[in-house]
Structure 1
Amino acid sequence: MKIAQVTLRHMKMDLLYPFTTSFGTEYDRDFILVEAKSEDGLTGWAESVAMPTPYYNEETVKTNWHILEDFLLPLLLNKDFNHPDELTENLFSHIRSNYMAKACLEMAAWDLYAKQQNAPLARLLGGTKDKIDVGVSIGIKDSIDETLEVIEKRRSEGYKRFKLKIKPGWDVELIDKVRKVFPDIPLMADANSAYTLADIELLAALDDYNLMMIEQPLAHNDIIDHADLQARLKTPVCLDESIHSLEDARKALKLESCKIINIKVGRVGGLTQAKRIHDFCLERNVPLWCGGMLESGIGRAHNIALTTLPGFRLPGDTAGSSLYFAEDIIHPEVTVADGMITVPTSPGIGYEADLEKIAKYTLFSKTYRKC
């Protein structure tokens, strides 16, 4: 398999609504779009989920561009490979961390490989589902009443799980009022590392509300304190930012730091590593779900394919395109019916890149060719 050229595009798409978490507010989706072309004329698409600021993790749009341009693309464009797994196992293995930069090239290679095989990406990954359950992530709002209105709207649209972002001062009272209005909805809280063990009593108070899980309550790089917290809580702890590899997952589960794992393809370095974590957790009956990073339709398509694997037992964050963007850069757009997304069956990611829309939202692009 040979990739003849790769085009990187710096994209910017306005969000329909500001999205606020414990570490800040996002008003747009600022990201790198990857277009990889093979010598036989096929094209694979992916996107980096790195943000402009190093708040979720240390990677940013600018650092990803640097790593892609100066290190990863020279490796990829000058080597032949038979399968996308080889990017993780061989080509990129000596480059430390930079998981999101690695992931966007690897995912483009997966899309291209699936198209060469004339097969849906979901099937090549080992997916078993024709439809996937979908949840929705609700950012921090100006008031609890506004949050309740959003939940009611999304519930009427059929979403099957409701994730509320929390932070100190926006936690127990919020969950208490939501539970009084919606006593039976599948509900979880996501802290994005906003707490410490000094808050253990406050977090333990959330045990009273029958939450599906509390996601990443403690430090982004911690698995030790999370083990102490999980031992204190009845509510399952879910790890997100702490898990970058199969080794991280193995150690977290061995220490009993969590009972659930969120897999984000960009965070773990690509689909190959995501599948390995999945297989490990499936053998141990550890529930998984696929997290989101406000992706455009290209990234959502990859998440949909991954979520078809049998270990993804909980609804993920891959909501419909129309919840986030006035228009998406794929056709058809990702749509949700009765809380489910129908998995596409055409080769690759199953959605077509809309080149006109892509051009509309491109700030800068550069093409790299094989030497």
Structure 2
Amino acid sequence: MKLERVEIVHVAIPLVTPFRTSFGTMTTKDTFLLHLVTDVAEGWSEFAADPEPLYCSEFVAGAEIVLRDFLIPRMAALPHLTTAVLADALAGIKGHELAKAALETALLDAELRSYGMPLATYLGAVRDRVPAGVSVGIKDSIPELLDDVERYLAEGYVRIKLKIEPGWDVGPVRAVRDRFGDALPLQVDANTAYTLADAEQLRRLDEFGLLLIEEPLEENNLHAHALLQQRLRTPVCLDESLHHARDTAAAIALDACRVVNVKPARVGGYLEARRVHDVARAHGVPVWCGGMLETGVGRAPNLALAALPGCTLPGDTSASARYFAEDITEPFVLVDGHLPVPDGPGIGIAPLPDALRRFTRERRDLYAA
């Protein structure tokens, strides 16, 4: 393949309800899509981070610069463009995994479309649908939280994840357990909000039979998470701390995590995400696919990853309606607690022109041959 054009499409889509975590509240999905055109096919991807570097160091405006000035020129210089050689071409640029993931995914989409191959087949998926969990943000009151959990369970979600922070942890978890019972698959996500000094407070969560506690301490501190795991019965799951398969192997060896949340954007794309999955599976560690409030463009490839054999826990691959009254693609709809894995070529989905037009703030070319 030869690269002909890369276009950036800045979109902003209102959320159906504000989504609050320990690092802030989102009311709009404000990001960009990449539209990549080659001489044989075109592909789409979604940048997963936000306008501000609060959840991670990458952010929308910075990623555009990195793509335009550093990543895309290296891609364009390749004499024969394939996804297999792209990682080596980009390796000289340190970090910026989310920007690299957006570029790799758009190219992978185009390449697989040219072959007529679904991403799920390429990755090695073993299921045509995956169980869907839902992430419930921090609320103003416990009654409001219980109402939300009841609604999501009525919609069919098979697992509930509660966002927690100091002051909003044991009480909400106890209330959900008391209301919905011990059989409910339940987990919590701290988004790095605690320190080792909070170990005794976190240990109070052991009594609730949680599937896991996700990224309780500062990211990239595997030693601290290993010390915390020694004090907890609840399995520690790492998310923000895992940037590639090497991190995953180290975390497992240190017993810093007993569950792995793999987010393709965070590790640089779906090829590295599959390696993360393979490392965890080889060590008998459960994997699940996390989410970053993606539109359908980002949700579709996540479903393909979630269908891999080592993904044995429900992921954050919620239905489109969980976040958006209207998506920019055909919506993903929950059926019997599951979402279908796209079976069309590439990521299996593309933006709907009218919806994309309504939610687009700006379009411009980052590269044109």
Please give the TM-score of this superposition, normalised by the length of structure 2: 0.98
- State the secondary structure of the residue aligned to 2:144: helix
Deviation by residue 1:34-77 (Cα, 9 ceiling, x = unmatched): 0111112x221101111111111111101101101111111112
Aligned equivalents of 1:201, 1:36: Cα separation in 2: 50
Shift of 1:168: 0.3
In the alignment of these two chains, the number of paired residues is: 368
1:351 to 325, 349, 352: 349
| 1:245 matched residue in structure 2 | 244
What root-mean-square deviation, in Å, do the aligned CA atoms of Structure 1 and Structure 2 show? 1.1
Whether 2:119 is the aligned partner of 1:121: answer yes
| 2:5 matched residue in structure 1 | 5
Aligned equivalents of 1:258, 1:67: Cα separation in 2: 32
| 2:131 matched residue in structure 1 | 133
Shift of 1:342: 1.4
Where do 5+ consecutive residues of structure 2 fail to align?
none
Aligned equivalents of 1:361, 1:129: Cα separation in 2: 33
Aligned equivalents of 1:253, 1:176: Cα separation in 2: 29
| 2:279 matched residue in structure 1 | 280
Aligned equivalents of 1:174, 1:66: Cα separation in 2: 42
Q: Return the letter of the residue paired with 1:34.
A: L
Deviation by residue 1:326-348 (Cα, 9 ceiling, x = unmatched): 111112x1111111011122111
Shift of 1:369: 3.6
Aligned equivalents of 2:121, 2:58: Cα separation in 1: 30
Deviation by residue 1:69-97 (Cα, 9 ceiling, x = unmatched): 11111111231445413222x11111111
Q: Return the letter of the residue paired with 2:286.
A: P
> Percent same amino acid among aligned pairs?
44
Structure 1 contact 133–316 (Cα < 8 Å) conserved: yes
Q: Return the letter of the residue paired with 1:327.
A: E
- State the secondary structure of the residue aligned to 1:188: strand
- Relative to structure 1, the CA distance from residue 81 to residue 224 in structure 2 (aligned partners, 3 Å threshold; closer, same or farther) is farther
Matches within 5 A, 1:21-32: 21-32=21-32
Structure 1 contact 104–270 (Cα < 8 Å) conserved: yes
Structure 1 segments (4+ residues) deviating >4 Å:
none
Where do 5+ consecutive residues of structure 1 fail to align?
none
| 2:254 matched residue in structure 1 | 255
Aligned equivalents of 1:2, 1:214: Cα separation in 2: 45
Structure 1 contact 5–77 (Cα < 8 Å) conserved: no
Please give the TM-score of this superposition, normalised by the length of structure 1: 0.97
Structure 1 contact 78–370 (Cα < 8 Å) conserved: no
Aligned equivalents of 1:87, 1:293: Cα separation in 2: 24
- State the secondary structure of the residue aligned to 1:238: strand
Structure 1 contact 50–64 (Cα < 8 Å) conserved: no
| 2:73 matched residue in structure 1 | 74
1:342 to 316, 340, 343: 340
- State the secondary structure of the residue aligned to 1:330: coil
- Relative to structure 1, the CA distance from residue 190 to residue 81 in structure 2 (aligned partners, 3 Å threshold; closer, same or farther) is farther
Shift of 1:223: 0.7
Structure 2 contact 72–367 (Cα < 8 Å) conserved: no
- State the secondary structure of the residue aligned to 1:79: coil
Structure 2 contact 3–81 (Cα < 8 Å) conserved: no
